[in-house]
Every structure is written in structure tokens, then in C-alpha cells.
Amino acid sequence: MDKPVEDAASPQSSTRRVYLTLRNDIIAGRIPPGERLKIDALKVALDTGASPVREALSLLTS
């Protein structure tokens, strides 16, 4: 997964970075339709905590 360069100083920017990365990966087809996204795997792949991943997934599903 490609990581957009952003200031990771605040939790909100971490959530935004994860959101943008996942959104871009979905649009580019790197995450296929129906694939189950696991928080533990995403937090390792995106080098972040579980909270930004959960918040980003919530934004993507809304």
C-alpha cells in the first residue's frame, strides 16, 4: 500500500492518512471488492495504531 506523505503529528492526520491510503488502494484496485480488511493487518501495513484504522474504516463505510 502506498502511503501519502502527511504530517502524522495528530491523531486526526493519522486517520486521514489511513483513510486516503485505503481509499486510493480501493479505487486503484489494489484492494479487490469483497476483501475482508483486518485491523491488525492494516495497522502493521500502514505503520499506525488500531484507532486510526478503525476511524478510517468507519469513514469509508459511511
> What gap in Å lies between CA 24 and CA 31, rounded to an integer?
9
* 51: pLDDT strictly greater than 90: yes
Q: What percent of the chain has pLDDT over 90?
A: 79
Which residue segments constitute the domains of the chain, with CATH numbers given? 11-61 (1.10.10)
Torsion of CA 59, 43, 26, 54, to 10 degrees: -20
The verdict on pTM exceeding 0.85 is: no
pLDDT digits (tens, 9 = 90+) for 32-43: 999 999 999 999
Q: Count CA within 13 A, CB hemisphere, residue 15.
A: 12
pLDDT digits (tens, 9 = 90+) for 12-25: 699 999 999 999 99
Taking phi first (over 0 means left), then psi (-120 to 50 degrees means alpha), and beta for anything else, what does residue 47 get? left
